[in-house]
Amino acid sequence: MPVTPPPVMRSLVTATPPHQVTQAQVREAARTLFPRMAARQTLLDAFDNARIETRSLARPLDWYLDPRGFGEKNATFLTEARALTEQVARQALADAQLAPEDVDAVVMVTTSGLSTPSLDAWLIERLGLNRHAARLPVWGLGCAGGAAGLARAADLVRAGHRRVLFVAVELCSLTLVRGDESKSNFVGTALFSDGAAAAVVTAPDVPGPAPRLALHGAYSTLIEDSEDIMGWDVVDDGLKVRFSRDIPTLVQGMMRENVAQALGAHGWTRDDVRHFVVHPGGVKVIAAYEAALGLPGGALDASRAVLRDYGNMSSVTVLFVLEETLRGDPHGRGLLSAMGPGFSAEHVLLDFH
C-alpha cells in the first residue's frame, strides 16, 4: 500500500505589538505595581534571572500602572488580537501564494482573552476567507497551544481539508493583576509578553512555494493529577496566572521517556532527530530539557534567543522558535515540543526540507 505524503508547511509569519519595553523598564514598573514584593531583592532578582532583555506589550507600559477591570482588559484583548491576527494571517496567505477564498479550514489558538464568536469567525469575515471553511477555535492549552494547534492543522489536512490557515495570538500582559502580590503574579510579570503567529499548512500536491517542512505526526500527554501546576484563576480583575510545583524538575523527570514515546509512536528514535524546537517557558525549563534529553551545548540556542528578545508569549512562543530555527536552514528531522496547563506535553514531528 502506498504511503500518503505528510502535510507540509508553506509559510510561517510572526508579529508583536508595537509597544516594546526593556526588562529593566518592567522591573522598575514592578516597584509601583507590587511595592511589598519589590522591596525584597531576592524576588526582584527574578527579572534579571529570567534572561529576558526586551518584550512587546499590547499597551504602553504606563497603561498597566492603573487599575483595570476584566471588561476593559478583554476589550483591549479583542482590539489588539484582531489587529495582530489580521496582520499575520494576510502575510501567511500571501507567502503561501494562497487566495483567501481557497482556505478550507481555520485553526485559531489563544488562551489569554475571551471572544464569542471566536476570533476565527471575525478573521473569515475580515479577510474574505471561504465561508464554508471548517473552524477549530482552541482555547485553554496555554503554552502548549502552539504545538497542539500546528498538530491539529496537519490533522485537518490529513482529513481532507487541503489548505489550512493556523493562527495563534496571545496577549499575556493583559492578565497582569495590579496589586496582587502573589508570587505567581509577580513571576508572570517578569516573564509574560505578547505576540502572534500564522502558518499555512497544505497537502503536498497543492500548488505553491517550496515547503518549509513536513509534519509527520504528533503526540499528546496529559499528566495525572496535575491540574494545579499551571493555569488561570478567574478573579474580579481578570485572568490570574497560577503556577504550582516545580516545572523544571517535572520536565527533567519525565521528558526523556515522553520524547522517546512520542518518537517511537511514529517509528522514529532519538538518534533520528537533529533539531529540537522547544518552547522556552523560562531559562530553568530550557536547562531541564537539555539535561533530560542529553542535548549538546547550543542545541537550544533558538529557544534562548527568542526568550531573550521576546519573553514568554505562551502558545505563540514555540512558533517564534520554529521561525528562528528555519533561519538557520535546517535539514533532517526535528521535534517541536511545548508544555502547558493540564498539565500536558505536546510534540510535533518535523522533517525540514
Tell me how far apart the alpha carbons of residues 328 and 302 are, in angstroms, rounded to a whole number.
9
Q: Going by C-beta distance under 8 Å and a sequence separation of 6 or more, which residues neighbour residue 36?
A: 181
Q: Where are the alpha helices (DSSP H) in the chain?
A: 23-33, 35-38, 41-44, 46-49, 70-95, 119-127, 145-158, 183-191, 247-264, 283-293, 301-310, 317-327
Is 142 within 8 Å of 315 (Cβ atoms)?
yes
Cell numbers 512558533 correspond to 319
- Among 92, 143, 285, 338, the active-site one is 143
Q: Going by C-beta distance under 8 Å and a sequence separation of 6 or more, which residues neighbour residue 233?
A: 239, 240, 241, 242
Tell me how far apart the alpha carbons of residues 87 and 292 are, in angstroms, rounded to a whole number.
37
Active site residue 143: yes
Is 195 within 8 Å of 83 (Cβ atoms)?
no
Q: Going by C-beta distance under 8 Å and a sequence separation of 6 or more, which residues neighbour residue 226?
A: 342, 343, 344
Query: Could you list the active site residues?
Result: 143
